[in-house]
Amino acid sequence: MRIRRRRCRSVTVGSVRIGGRAPISVQSMTNTPTADAGATIAQIRSLVEAGAQIVRVSVPDEASAAALHRIVAESGVPIVADIHFRHDLAVAAVEAGVAKLRINPGNIQRPADVRVLAEKAASRGIPIRVGINSGSIPGHIREKLGTGADALWAAAERHLLLLAETGFTDTVISLKASDPMTTVEANLRAARECDRPLHLGVTEAGPSLEGAVRSSVAIGLLLARGIGDTIRVSLSGPPEDEPFVAWEILSSLGLGRIHPRLVSCPTCARTRIDVAGIAGELSGILRRIRGDFTVAVMGCEVNGPGEAREADFAVIGSPAGMILFEGGRRLPGTVQPGEIRSRLEHELSRFAEKQGGPAR
Ligand code: SF4
């Protein structure tokens, strides 16, 4: 199925373009104290290795704004400053060199404050994301419309107008609810009503497994309709899981891939090897490898050889033990339980380099 992307304007976030004909980009966010520049830079690098192309950091105070100078200089990826309540911190973040601002219209509403930060962003040519969450819709809109899709869009529309009155139009919109279908409805509305790039995500999506499912439903439904220009999967878990899940969503829709694809059987009474354990090991290894190929883990010889022919690389349980296939051909010997990790790391790094997808 070919997805026709919605046409919209584009903005430039450092080295990444969002919207227009640009590929859908993957974002994530740090959870270290931003004032601790060293820890934040280390986490940003870890997120980038997992596939993040843009990273957002919270800027809750002056110490965080001051740390942004070093974070921007040493991160090697566009940094977005996440600003709430204080427009002066947005100004400080722009001066520190961030590539984009995210502001929350629920808590920066005064037209004079919006004008100051918009003029500052315009002076450096950086875009602003108007990020509306269902938990922080401005009071007067909440009283009238509640917290559903109409309220999310109304809050965004009002703030876009506020920014437009200052002459600022370099904007991205996000409309996020913790309920996936409210998120979908709000973004369908935004896609109909405006031509701004849309940042997709589900807010407070939950722990890794629940959050991955809810995010996949909302983001996947929208992307399948051609809506969405950049995505962030929000998880209460290791931040590095976020870009991983985001890329799995894009890959499942044929919209992009950076890591090899891992498939594994569900196991049954015929299972001859520890499929879950091996798939877990492989998942960790493959997250550090770039490449467009498929790796399969199959518990027995029933479907194993067929899957091995389909996959580029396969690990299969057999009466003789664990055997490996590459390009549909069996590699010599068997793999002993104690050497699984080192053998798989070695074989997959070699395979990724052979495929031209550099191992990292
Ligand atoms: S591949 Fe074998 S072990 Fe895995 S589910 Fe199928 S029959 Fe069971």
Number of domains, the chain: 2
pLDDT value at residue 60: 97
* Ligand 1 center to 279 CA (angstroms): 14
Same domain, yes or no, for 198 and 321? no
Q: Is 3 inside any structural domain?
A: no
- Domain containing 345: what range? 261-354
Say yes or no: CB of residue 201 within 6 Å of ligand 1.
no
Amino acid at the residue 149:
A
pLDDT value at residue 359: 44
Same domain, yes or no, for 54 and 34? yes
DSSP secondary structure of 94-162: HHHT-SEEEE-TTT---HHHHHHHHHHHHHHT--EEEEEEGGG--HHHHHHHTTSHHHHHHHHHHHHHH
Last residue of a domain, one of 226, 252, 278: 252
Say yes or no: CB of residue 298 within 6 Å of ligand 1.
yes
Say which CATH number the domain at 323 has: 3.30.413.10
Q: Name the residue with the closest Cα to ligand 1, atom 2.
A: 300
Q: Is 311 inside any structural domain?
A: yes
Same domain, yes or no, for 267 and 229? no
Say yes or no: CB of residue 44 within 6 Å of ligand 1.
no
**92 secondary structure, DSSP code:** H
Last residue of a domain, one of 233, 252, 271: 252
Say which CATH number the domain at 59 has: 3.20.20.20
| 3-state secondary structure string across 16-61 | EEEECCCCCEEEEECCCCCCCHHHHHHHHHHHHHCCCCEEEEECCC
Give the residue, out of 264, 268, 309, with the most ligand 1 atoms within 8 A of its beta carbon, to mutate for a pocket test: 268
Can you give the pLDDT of all 360 residues of the chain as single tens digits? 889 999 999 999 999 999 999 999 999 999 999 999 999 999 999 999 999 999 999 999 999 999 999 999 999 999 999 999 999 999 999 999 999 999 998 888 899 999 999 999 999 999 999 999 998 888 899 999 999 999 999 999 999 999 999 999 999 999 999 999 999 999 999 999 999 999 999 998 888 899 999 999 999 999 999 999 999 999 998 899 999 999 999 999 999 999 899 999 999 999 999 999 999 999 988 888 888 889 999 999 887 777 777 889 999 999 888 999 998 888 889 998 788 888 888 888 887 787 765 444
Say yes or no: CB of residue 297 within 6 Å of ligand 1.
no
